[in-house]
A and B are shown apart, each in its own frame.
Chain A
Amino acid sequence: MKKFSAIILNLVLLALPALLWASEGLEVPEELGKKVDLANLGSINYFFAHWYNDNLWVYATIVTVLMGLLGFTIALVTDVILKMIGMETHKMEHHE
């Protein structure tokens, strides 16, 4: 657990300069600073479009966290499915 926490802390620290660097070019080009029309949007589309219009920082954070969580969840689920069909993977020998 301690090792895992250390890895997470390191990853966060390593990500910080990148996030700060990402914020540098925050000025949104005019042609891309458009607003999405929220009328007739379904609940999921409305949620994303609302934050997109309202605050791009929150939108970017939602996108990044969501993609990370989705990736992590899919990795877990597909692993279980592959195990069930007999395609599980273990540590492999490295030969060229």
Chain B
Amino acid sequence: MFDIYLPIAGMQFNALILVAIGFSVGVLGGFFGVGGAWVVTPALNAFGFPMAYAIGTDLAHIFGKSIVATAKHRKMGNVDMKLGLISIVGSVIGVEIGARNVMYLTKLGIAGPVVRYIYMFMLFGLGIYMLYDYMTKDKRAAAQAAKVAAAARAGLAPPAKKSWNLPPMIHFPASGITISLWTVSGVFLFTGYLSGLLGVGGGFIRMPALIYLIGCPTAIAVGTDLFSVLFSGAYGCFTYGIKARVEIIAAILMLVGAAIGAQVGVTAVKYIRGYGIRLLFAIMVILAGISVSLKQFQLNTASQWMVMCAALGMCAVIMIKLYQGFKKEQAEKAGYAVKEVKP
């Protein structure tokens, strides 16, 4: 019923599926600060899109979507522009090193399995660490409070956090952190390297790196990461364009869905606390890891459906949380209004 002709890919495709895929990945992207290539590419491919066009079209829509999401995050004060701009320089160099490494592995004929095993290690490692971090947060907060109290009783200053203060130090007012330029550059070089090596946008690596290695608040990590994704998306859109791999009509339809989804995802950040975002992200990353493992064991269809179901499930959770938060906010506003009317 909604079939349209896509001239570049030379095929008929259901427009509604494109808008729906765009919408779900828009929600995830706006909420987690990731591009979502690891969801869209297998989803498009599963619905019959040729792989080469799936990658290029995906990157084109990511560029448009990240503009929508970054604009909204910026309005909410969640984008550290200074940190984002520095991230681009480190990431570009890192991506180049990673890509050259892949070329070397390809020459040896072991690129596929090596990349997939690193991918699995990264996804499971990251997911499990973030789950552990979430489950032990109260214990750590209590231990820190006890340390501060003990120091106060002894009349000493609270123990300083351990950090590497090699000059030059840079202050990031939006994130409220002061950190060595070398640490920031090193982190972005590393995350860029991994994204070049794994062939992904890098959002799912950079977002936790901003939290755990640089010390950003979660919402700022999400917004700043999206700001960086904007540049990698623009680069990806252009480079795949000149390589004749972007189906523009499909990208536009996906962007329409993704733009609406991104608004939903970003607004949900307002209602879910930082650790809540980390918990959902950890679950999503582990599910993506399971999907990659299935692929490694040649279960391609199961792998594609796994990642799509995980994305749709997570999408539903985010929208329910957003609805609950919105209703609560409305009820609180109504409560205040009644109080103000009563003498």
Contacts and interface: CB of A to CB of B under 8 A. Distances in A.
Interface string A40-67: 0100110011001000110111111011
Contact of A70 (B219, B255, B326): B255
Contact of A23 (B60, B242, B248): B242
Kindly name the residue among B63, B67, B252 whose own CB sees the greatest number of chain A CB atoms within 10 A. B67
Interface residues of B, number: 60
A95 B260 CA distance: 26
Contact of A25 (B63, B64, B243): B243
Contact of B7 (A29, A49, A66): A49
Interface stretch (B158-166, B230-238, B291-299, B302-310): B230-238
B234 to A, nearest CB: 6
A75 B78 contact: no
Interface string B244-269: 11101101100110011001001101
Given A15-B234, A19-B238, A67-B61, A32 B244 contact: yes
Interface string A57-85: 10111111011101110110011001000
B263 A22 contact: no
Contacts of A48: 7-8, 248-249
B68 A60 contact: no
A89 B320 CA distance: 18
A16 to B, nearest CB: 11
A48 B259 CA distance: 22
Interface in A1-45: 7, 10, 14-15, 17-19, 21-23, 25-26, 28-29, 32-34, 36, 41, 44-45
Interface string B203-223: 000000000000001111000
Contacts, number: 169
Interface residues of A, number: 52
A64 B68 contact: no
Kindly name the residue among B7, B266, B269, B274 whose own CB sees the greatest number of chain A CB atoms within 10 A. B7
Interface of B: 5, 7-8, 10, 52, 60-61, 63-68, 71-72, 75-78, 81, 85, 88-89, 92, 96, 217-220, 231, 234-235, 237-246, 248-249, 251-252, 255-256, 259-260, 263, 266-267, 269-270, 273-275, 326, 330
10 contacts: A15-B231, A15-B234, A28-B244, A36-B8, A62-B248, A66-B252, A67-B64, A79-B71, A79-B72, A94-B220
